[in-house]
Chains A and B, each alone.
Chain A
Amino acid sequence: MNATWYYFERDLVKWIRGKVTVFSHLVTPAAWLIFVGLTLPVTFTDNYLEYLTPGIMVMSVLFAALQSGNLVIFDKVLGFLNKFFAMPPPRESYLFGTILFITFRGMIQATVIFCVAVLLGITIYSLKSVLLTYVVLFLFGILFASIATTIALAVDDHDGYAAINSMISMPLFFTSTALMPYDKMPDWLQMVASVNPVSYAIDNARALLSGSDPVIGEIVMLAVGAVIVLTICSYLFRRATL
């Protein structure tokens, strides 16, 4: 358990010291919020910014998670995993440390979005609703960080990973409820969106942040999905040859 924390700490310090990356990770999603949230001419709501904020928060966790498979690929290609796995802590502690870091970094990005949105004038209903939103973001982050590391293990080269990442990240985002509600979608998109885990996270974040009740069924699905993918990923990781 301690080892998980040490691996987490390693990733965190390395990230913070790469000043340019930190800046870009925090600015890019904010740009999304401002350029889409304040400019798109939508008619289904009179406060699109408030509608969009939860979607962009989830998006930043999603993109942060999917990009982060690179952390594992680099550690593998550069020989770090060889050294780590010849040490006593179990292999999973590296995996869990990395997944925690990926999730944590996504949540920091989401927080920046949230702060920008508050500055632009969205309403905060209650502290409890914000905290519950973070629980949803955490589960969602764990799910996609596990998916990313599983893909990274399977692909194990940088370019291949980048290709898969760009192939799945945009479709996942655009087939979710990030930009519009289910009833404004064409039928086919509605079907896709209703099984897209990204929608589950966004629906809940949106419900919570607008002061309504969360959709418990979808949260359970996210949690179950996270546990299943994490289990598969640990299994593959334990058996992986480097």
Chain B
Amino acid sequence: MIEVNDLTKYFGNLCAVDHVSLHVENGIFGLLGPNGAGKSTIVRILSTLLKPTGGNATICGYDLAREPKKVREVISYVPQEMALDIKLTGRENALLYAKLYGIADRSRKVDEVLELMELTARSDDLVRTYSGGMRRRLELAQALVHEPEVLFLDEPTLGLDVAARTKIWRHILSLQEQGIVIFMTTHYMEEADEYCDTVAIIDHGRIVALDTPERLKSEMEGEKTSLNDVFIDRVTTPEEESVFDGYKFRTMLRRRR
């Protein structure tokens, strides 16, 4: 499904993605890593928004560099920012996507995806009145109008409360059961642990761990290791390496008063 070979991306002198190779056949694939590790860059390259500096990838057999249009027909990309037109209704937002994808029977398809995401009752309200969780589900509905084979989700549960997150995950799981490959990034290790079939931990643009959450945990010493422990063990970020100096911080706060 997704075949990534030696993918590399430079922004000027900064190497954002460093010879990454991946293979995802099915299930939910989670890309973990600290802020600025290159997760979003990888997703943006795979969803044809950025051209890689080196390496290549194929999605459903289509070459990213040579057949970007074919790739776009079989994927959906939901970025971190919730980009919905708040002056349009939920249905109108979804309908725009059905039109842009050139869906033949679009009003039926839109009804179907709204139903699937449990938005039917509110579908004719302006998105302005939607909660964060509903907006995210509407974005998933938009992403499903053309029945994609691969779904790229960049931090799908970011900024949502626990109930909304659980609901989003229930939907993502049911999509995966229908055979859609999910390629996602997240900062929530517990979520990755619970829902992802395979995870890759990426640091400074390089893959430092790639396996099932179970096996990554079992490689760690000690009892009851969590994916969090694996993450902290494998990842080095300069900012977090320096120890928090409580005394200095408190002095600083006192001076500000």
A contact residues vs B (CB 8 Å cutoff): 2-3, 6, 10, 13-14, 17-18, 78-80, 82-89, 241-242
Contacts and interface: CB of A to CB of B under 8 A. Distances in A.
Interface residues of B, number: 29
Contacts of A80: 83
B104 interface: no
A14 B85 contact: yes
B72 interface: yes
A82 B49 contact: yes
Contact of B101 (A17, A87, A242): A87
A79 B79 contact: yes
Contacts of A10: 85, 88, 96
Interface of B: 44, 47-50, 69, 72-73, 75-83, 85, 87-88, 92, 96-97, 99-102, 142, 152
A89 B96 CA distance: 12
A86 B72 contact: yes
8 contacts: A2-B102, A3-B100, A10-B85, A83-B77, A83-B79, A86-B77, A88-B72, A88-B73
Which of A78, A82, A83 is the most central at the interface, judged by chain B CB atoms within 10 Å of its CB? Answer: A83
A78 B81 CA distance: 7
Contacts of A83: 77-79, 83, 142
A12 to B, nearest CB: 11
A86 B49 contact: yes
A163 B109 CA distance: 44
A18 B72 contact: no
A13 B92 contact: yes
A14 B87 contact: yes
B79 A82 contact: yes
Contacts of A85: 48-49
B72 A13 contact: no
A87 B99 contact: no
